[in-house]
Every structure is written in structure tokens, then in C-alpha cells.
Amino acid sequence: MVEKKLKKAQLNHITTPIKIGPFELKNRMSLAPMNETMAGHDGQVTEQQIAYFAARAKGGAALVTTGAIMATRMGSKFVWGRNIHCFHPGHLQGLGMLTKHIHHFGALASAQMSMGFGRQGHSYDETLLAPAPTAGLPYEAALDTMTKGLESIMIKSESAREFLVGQMTREMSISEIQSEQKEYAKSCQLAVIGGFDVIEIHGPHGYLEHEFLSPLSNKRTDMYGGEWRNRKRLLNETMEQVRYACPGVAVGVRISAEEHMEGGLTREEMIDVAKDLEARGADFISLSDGGGYEETCHLVGTAEAAGHIPDTGADFKKVLKIPVIVASQHDPIKADRDISAGKFDISAMARQLFIDPEYCNKVMEGRTDEINICKRCNICLMRCLSGITPECPQNPWLGREYAMDEYRIGARLKHESILMKGVTNAPLPSLHRPWWKKEISTLEQHWRSFRGPGQRK
């Protein structure tokens, strides 16, 4: 589908700064999370990945969000493609280099942290059962609810076709859920130590956090299933724990605005979820849409599906005080109008910044007529689904940014701080005790003072 060519326009709303949590974004445009399939086989950040993100930061996006980062060991065994990992201090070297590049080129860095893909996870070992809310419930993608263009692409790629049917699932136990949550919160701290300014909890698109919410994928009868407040429990508790673990950074959540499947989550329910998350300290809500692989029209939006998102955003904004981010608004002139009409606050773009990494600079400088608009043909997506680096017929540099000197950093610039803001804004609390217990006020209460043997006072 060929979209219209834009006219030249000076825009006044999308170009203005906005606060999220303790930080100010220099404009209202961000790189949406995309599993860009550039990590190494063990989830480590690669040179190409760093250059790819540097290009989007240099291109003027105020906020650069990673694709879903696997934040637990268990989750990392059931990945989408080659996701980044962050659950071990060994991951910090690559993550630190990544955030340094994003900061050097003037953007804030956001880590989209995932607890796992649940029934949408695929392991290299096909005999493993995917940990999910409910056992025996693999997904099966239907071609008629697939985003346009994807079905024809599926015909060409056997690897991409593997995504049509999920792996068999097993039910996660309560203690497993709770230890996953704890590991997740610790991994979010690691991400902050690695230099990320923003933690985005990954809750949309039929992945694990979403699966617990949905009556279609959560058939449990314990405290994490059944009635609505139980189905919300996993996400609400996770929000509380990450908020506690990472006080100095912005913490937000990406959710699907609705499930678009019969019997699935409604917009009213998701507005209720957003209110719960705001009450638990979320600094923003990032809206995507759709139920996941069984309904990809809204996940990787067609132009038609994307057209509805601003009005959906308006419904969320009516009840929230925190900023609302929406996805897939490629036309900046319309996005600017919608922001001024109060429908949403920040425009997050994915494929649009694949095709044109300079998009945000062009908007800031009134060169909107120079923007290359994404054709939504999904060739990039098919390459990612096949496990290879994305490429775009309209942008010959996508996937080979590593070859360009302009995305390398040199000496530290004045605006780059030596200590990460998240660490200096609020020291990270220790998570080696139950997260709900109070901090120990003074060491002396628990330790013998250093004065040789004798009785404790």
C-alpha cells in the first residue's frame, strides 16, 4: 500500500517537550519497541544493534525504546527471535555501550522488559513445554486475522511459518510466578545500572503479562486466575515491585488497548488496568493494540487499524493523569493535530523509523515533505520472523548501520553524565529480602560494631 506524500509543515505540538517521571523528553516522538533481531545468539548486544539504535537517537527521537528484553532466565529460553537478555551482570557491558550511544546522540534510553512470552514463546528445544498461565493451550494463528501482506510473505518463508502454531504449554506454579516476578524486578535494576532512564514493562500483544489478564488464555482457578482482580494480579504486583526496585527512573507499561477477539479483553477493562497501574506509580501508559499472534492486524497495524488508535488513546486520557503514548501514527501532521486535540501525548513509531531514521529531525525542522512514509509492506517483519536482520527496500542502510562512521561515539560530551541518572536520582534498594519489607535503617542495628570480641549491645 502506497501512502500519500506529505506536504511541508511547521508543527507546534509534536515538537514540544513533555515530562515523563523525573525526565523531560525534548519532543513527543519515540522509537517504539521492536524486536529488531540483532542480538547475539545468547542475547548479548551486538555492534550492529548499537549502531541501529544510535541512528534513531541521532535522527531526533526523544526516547529510544529497545525491543522486548528477556528479563528472566526462564523467559530467555522461549524467545521470539534474537532478543536482548538482561538478567545477569555479564549483560551489562553490552547494555552499557548501547545506552551510552543513545545518550551521546541526545535521546533517553528505555528498556522494554519482558517476563516471558508465555504461550507465544518458542524454544530451540521443541520438547520443552512453554511456561504459561494455563496448560495445554498453544496458540494457533489464523490467516484471516493476519495483518495485510503477512500471509503472502508467510508463503515464502518456512521459518516465518513456524510462528503460525505455538508450542505446547504448561501451567506455571504460584511459587514460580513469584520467583519470576522477583527476578524480573532485579533485572529492571540491572537495566538501570546499565544506564537506562526508562523501564517499560512489556504487557501487550498476547505475551505472558497479557495472557494472565485475558480470560481466553488464563483458565486458572487460584489467586492468579478466575475473577478479574485475580487476573490483574500478576501485572499489578509486577508494577509495584518494579516501582519499588527502581525509584529513580521513569517506569511505564505497554498494554494492548483491547484484544479484538471474541470473548477477549475489552477497552473498558484495559482502561481499568491502566488506572490500576497509574495508582501503583506508573509514569506513563504506552498503548498498542490487539491480542497477539492470533490477531496480528492490530499488533503490527494496518493503516486502517492504526487509524483508530488516537480515538482509543482519547478514551484512556480521559481518566489518566499520566502521559499516554500511542503507536503507529506515521503522519506527523495528523499526529500533531491529535496531540493538540488531547487524544494522546507521545507518538511511538516502529516501522516508520526503520524506513526513515531521520523522521524526527525532519519533523523538528519543518521538513515533513522529505519524510519517507512506510508502505506497511512488512518485508522487514518477515525478515525478523525468519530470524535475520531486518531490511527495507526503501532504506538500504537498515541492518548495516554498523558500517557507518557517523553512528560511532568519540569523547564524552558535556550533556552525558558519568553516573547514570537513575542511580543518582534514588539509590536502588536491595532486593535480597522480601520486597515489601522496610529498608534496614542502620547497619549498626544488625552488626557487631568493630571493636573486637565481646557481647553485643
Ligand X SMILES: Cc1cc2nc3c(=O)[nH]c(=O)nc-3n(C[C@H](O)[C@H](O)[C@H](O)COP(=O)(O)O)c2cc1C
CB atoms within 10 A of CB 291: 27
Residue 56 lies near ligand X (rule: CB under 6 A): no
Q: Which of residues 373-392 bind ligand X (CB under 6 A)?
A: 380-381, 384
Residue 352 lies near ligand X (rule: CB under 6 A): yes
Residue 33 lies near ligand X (rule: CB under 6 A): yes
Which range of residues in 155-163, 202-210, 393-401, 432-440 is near ligand X by CB under 6 A?
202-210
Q: Which of residues 324-343 bind ligand X (CB under 6 A)?
A: 327-328
Selected from 67, 118, 121, 357, the binder of ligand X by CB under 6 A is 67
**How many binding residues for ligand X (CB under 6 A)?**
24
Q: Which of residues 265-324 bind ligand X (CB under 6 A)?
A: 288, 300-301, 306
Which range of residues in 20-28, 198-206, 317-325, 436-444 is near ligand X by CB under 6 A?
198-206
19 binds, among ligand X, ligand SF4, none (CB under 5 to 8 A by kind): none
| C-alpha dihedral, 43 to 355 to 15 to 35, nearest 10° | -20
Selected from 253, 305, 377, 384, the binder of ligand SF4 by CB under 6 A is 377
Supply 360's cell numbers.
Answer: 524526527
337 burial via Cβ count (<10 Å: 0-12, 13-18, 19+) = middle
Helices 332-340 & 303-319, crossing angle to 10 degrees?
20
Long-range contacts of 208-212 (CB under 8 A, 24+ apart): 208/75, 208/114, 208/115, 208/116, 208/117, 208/118, 208/121, 208/132, 208/133, 209/115, 209/234, 209/235, 209/238, 210/255, 210/256, 210/265, 210/291, 210/292, 211/118, 211/119, 211/120, 211/132, 211/133, 212/133
Task: State CA 125 to chain mean position distance.
Answer: 26
Comparing CA positions, the residue from 8, 116, 56 lying closest to residue 407 is: 56
Residue 375 lies near ligand SF4 (rule: CB under 6 A): yes
Closest approach, Cβ 145 to ligand X, in A, equals: 16
Q: Measured from the CB atom, is 44 or 372 closer to ligand SF4?
A: 372
Q: Which of residues 146-175 bind ligand X (CB under 6 A)?
A: none
Q: Which of residues 384-423 bind ligand SF4 (CB under 6 A)?
A: 392, 394
What is the separation, in whole angstroms, between the first and last Cα of the chain? 77
Residue 32 lies near ligand X (rule: CB under 6 A): yes
Which chain residues interact with ligand X by CB under 6 A? 32-35, 67-68, 112, 202, 204-205, 254, 288, 300-301, 306, 327-328, 349-352, 380-381, 384
- Binding positions for ligand SF4, rule: CB under 6 A: 351, 354-355, 374-380, 392, 394
